Structures are given as C-alpha cells and as structure tokens.
C-alpha cells in the first residue's frame, strides 16, 4: 500500500484541528515536539496552512516563583473563562523540563477543575531541548491551539530569568504573580521581570495574609512608580487577589481586557505582535543553525576542554572560535 502523501497528512491534520478535535490537536503537537526531520517539516507545513486561523486569541503569560499559586490561579481564571463561553488553552515553558524529563508546569493534577473541563486544553511544557527550543515549540503549539478555536491562551513559566523573557515575547499581556512579603523588602523583585510586567498581582490576599498582601502591593506600587512605563497608554497596575477563594479573579481578567482595548486602539498590540513574529523567525533560525553544532560528536567531545582552556585564560576566546570553526568546516 502506498504511504499517504505528506500533503494529505497535513490536510487531514488541519481539518481535524479546524474542527476543534482534541485528539488531532494533541497528535499535531506531538509532531511539533518531535526531533524527527519529517515530523518537523509536516509540523511546519501545518502551521503554514493554518496561519490564517491563528492570532485571534488573547495571549497571556503568567509567571511567579514556585508555590506562588500559578496553578491555582490558572485553574480559577480558566474555569471562570470557560463558564463565560471561552475556550482556554494552558501551555507552559519550563526550562528545567529537559533535565528532569518532565514538567511540573501545567501539571493537570494541580488544575483539578480545568483538567476535566471540555472547553480547556492543558499541555505541559515540551520536555526536551534548550530554552530556545522549548519556547519555539510552545509558540507553535499556541498557534495550533488558536486554529483549534481556543480564544484564550495562558502560557505559564516559573520565575527563573530567561524563560520569563521567552514567555513575555510570545504573549500580549505578561502577568507577574507575587507572594505577600514580610514588609520591608521587595522579595522576588527582579528588576528585569518587573519591567516586563503588564500587571503585578499579589496572590493569597486572604485570612491572616491580607494586611501583608496590601503592604506588599503598596511597595510594588511605589517601585513601579519609579520605572517609566513602557507604554504611554498603560501603567502596569498592582492588585491583590486570592486564587484559592476566587476573590479578585474576575478583576484580573477585567484589567487584561482593559489593557487589550487600550493597546488595540493605540496600535501597540498589533505592533507588539509584528515584532514578536520577526523575533520568532530569528530565534527559530538560530535554533536551526545551532542544532547541527550541538549534535556534532567531535565538537561535543572537544567542548569541555576548550571551555576550560578559555576559562583558565590559556586560550583566547577568538582562537577557540577559530578552532571550532575549523573543526566544523564553517
Ligand atoms: N491561602 C492561599 N493559599 C493559596 C492561594 N493560592 C494558592 N495557594 C496555595 O499555595 C500552594 C501552591 O499553590 P500552586 O497553585 O500549586 O502554586 P504554583 O505556583 O503552581 O507552584 P509550582 O507549580 O510548584 O511552581 C498550594 O498549597 C495552594 O493551595 C491563595 O490564594 N490563598
Ligand atoms: Mg504549578
């Protein structure tokens, strides 16, 4: 029997995705995450075919340190949104997943309501690759979810530096979750992350935590006041809420929509999306160009020694690059 042509494969997958078939969507995402070249090219053809059906979702990035309540927040916000008639996709960028082989992010067991919600689709972080590779796969997955009719995409990442930038770069709104602090110090205030934030939300503003949450909010408010807002049309608000009790969840969404309305009117949202598309292209090209290098045996074997020599100051970085270029016949 003749094997099916790649084109008909792509067409069949595209049809299933357009029809919102979750099984087909999952299968297509598996192709995106695959290392096989033929899978990758099918996946690329698929995103191209579906391109016209993408881009319509509200894309929200969510970050915060472990235990801040990301899963609880996504569960509460997501189920509120599906009740309102939205279809919600939850994705993740977990830079540690390639080492641990599994993702703690977008873990269904911690999102009990959404996990069984027919209008929610949860996909954990791709489990292998560099941060750039993982982020690229999550972006492609986001496009497929949009084509499948998910009109809200929540992308989760844990606050460990580079991954926040990757997620801010693929979303329209970047939400930073913070714990009520002890008072005088802005715990978790990494300047870079605060600069990325479109809103800072202090979670666990309930019970005994309430006064501390208010205090923390005031401190962040003062800190943000000093920073020049990135947009003339949006000053990132600082709010308090309780994911556990659901207090303030609706207000989070109202702010997100308010931001959307203002930045759509000013054209900034469209500009942000345009810039992101071009950035994605470059990031993917970089990944593609580096891939053969990373898998080159001679290079991998020589790398530790070269790095050690450079670190010790015995080998000039430029000389090391020359040697590598020679080795790879660049
Ligand atoms: N009091 C209170 N506890 C909360 C709230 N939100 C989350 N928690 C608790 O905080 C703990 C961590 O919540 P998660 O939602 O798992 O936090 P996370 O940020 O997803 O954690 P990681 O996935 O480990 O990074 C759990 O025990 C939650 O029940 C809240 O609003 N109030
Ligand atoms: Mg979690």
Taking CA atoms only, the protein residue closest to ligand 1 atom 12 is 67
Is 225 within 8 Å of 196 (Cβ atoms)?
A: no
pLDDT score for 184: 47
Both tokens of residue 264? 């759509």
Quick check: 1 pLDDT over 60? no
* For range 51-74, the mean pLDDT: 94
First-last CA distance in the chain: 43
Q: What separation in Å is there between the alpha carbon of 205 and the centre of ligand 2?
A: 18
Q: What separation in Å is there between the alpha carbon of 247 and the centre of ligand 1?
A: 14
What share of the chain in percent tops pLDDT 70? 90
Q: What separation in Å is there between the alpha carbon of 155 and the centre of ligand 2?
A: 12
* For range 208-233, the mean pLDDT: 87
Taking CA atoms only, the protein residue closest to ligand 1 atom 28 is 69
Ligand with the closest atom to the CA of 75: 1
Q: Which of 62, 65, 71 to mutate to test the pocket of ligand 1 (most atoms within 8 A of CB)?
A: 71
Q: What separation in Å is there between the alpha carbon of 204 and the centre of ligand 1?
A: 8
Angle at which helices 268-295 and 131-147 cross, to 10°: 130
| Atom number, ligand 1, closest to the C-alpha of residue 74 | 15
Three-state DSSP string of the chain: CCCCCHHHHHHHHHHHHHCCCHHHHHHHHHHHHCCCHHHHHHHHHHHHHHHHHCCCCEEEEEEECCCCCHHHHHHHHHHHHHHCCCCEEEEEECCCHHHHCCCCCCCHHHCHHHHCCCCEEECCCCCCCCHHHHHHHHHHHHHHHHHCCCCEEEEEEECCCHHHHHHHCCCCEEEEEECCCCCCCCCCCCHHHHHHCCEEEECCCCHHHHHHHHHHHHHHHHHHHHCCCCECCECCCEEECECCCCECHHHHHHHHHHHHHHHHHCCHHHHHHHHHHHHHHHHHHHHHHHHHHHHCHHHHHHHHHHHHHHHCCCCCHHHHHHHHHHHCCC
Ligand with the closest atom to the CA of 107: 2
**Is the whole model's pTM more than 0.75, yes or no?**
yes
Taking CA atoms only, the protein residue closest to ligand 1 atom 3 is 204
Both tokens of residue 226? 């000093």
Q: Which of 63, 65, 67, 110 to mutate to test the pocket of ligand 1 (most atoms within 8 A of CB)?
A: 67
* For range 45-56, the mean pLDDT: 94
Angle at which helices 268-295 and 249-265 cross, to 10°: 100
Which residues sit with Cβ closer than 5 angstroms to ligand 2, an ion?
70-71
Residue pLDDT, tens place only, 109-167: 789 999 999 999 999 888 767 788 888 899 999 999 999 999 999 999 986 678 899 99
Report the pocket of ligand 1 as residue ranges, CB < 6 Å: 64, 66-72, 104, 110, 158, 203-204, 206, 242-244
């Amino acid at each position: 029997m003749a094997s099916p042509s790649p084109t008909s494969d792509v067409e069949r997958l595209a049809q299933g995705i357009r029809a919102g078939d979750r099984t087909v969507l999952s299968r297509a995402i598996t192709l995106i995450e695959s290392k096989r070249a033929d899978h990758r090219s099918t996946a690329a053809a698929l995103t191209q075919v579906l391109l016209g059906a993408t881009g319509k979702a509200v894309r929200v990035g969510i970050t915060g340190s472990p235990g801040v309540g990301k899963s609880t927040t996504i569960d509460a916000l997501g189920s509120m949104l599906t009740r309102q008639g939205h279809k919600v996709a939850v994705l993740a960028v977990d830079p540690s997943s390639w080492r641990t082989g599994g993702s703690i992010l977008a873990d269904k067991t911690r999102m009990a309501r959404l996990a069984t919600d027919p209008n929610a689709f949860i996909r954990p972080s791709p489990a292998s690759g560099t941060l750039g590779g993982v982020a690229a796969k999550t972006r492609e997955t986001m496009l497929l979810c949009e084509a499948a009719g998910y009109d809200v995409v929540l992308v989760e990442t844990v606050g460990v530096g580079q991954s926040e930038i990757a997620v801010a770069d693929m979303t329209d709104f970047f939400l930073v979750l913070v714990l009520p602090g002890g008072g005088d110090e802005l715990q978790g205030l990494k300047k870079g992350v605060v600069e990325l934030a479109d809103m800072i939300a202090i979670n666990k503003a309930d019970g005994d935590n309430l006064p501390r949450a208010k205090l923390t909010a005031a401190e962040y408010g003062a800190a943000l006041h000093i920073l020049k807002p990135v947009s003339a049309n949006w000053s990132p608000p600082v709010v308090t809420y309780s994911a556990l009790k659901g207090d303030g969840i609706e207000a989070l969404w109202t702010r997100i929509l308010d931001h959307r309305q203002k930045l759509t009117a000013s054209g900034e949202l469209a500009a942000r999306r345009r810039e992101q598309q071009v950035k994605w292209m470059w990031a993917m090209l970089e990944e593609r160009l580096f891939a053969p290098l990373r898998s080159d045996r001679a290079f991998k074997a020589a790398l530790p020694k070269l790095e050690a020599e450079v670190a010790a100051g015995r080998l000039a970085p430029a000389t090391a690059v020359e040697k590598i270029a020679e080795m790879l016949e660049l």
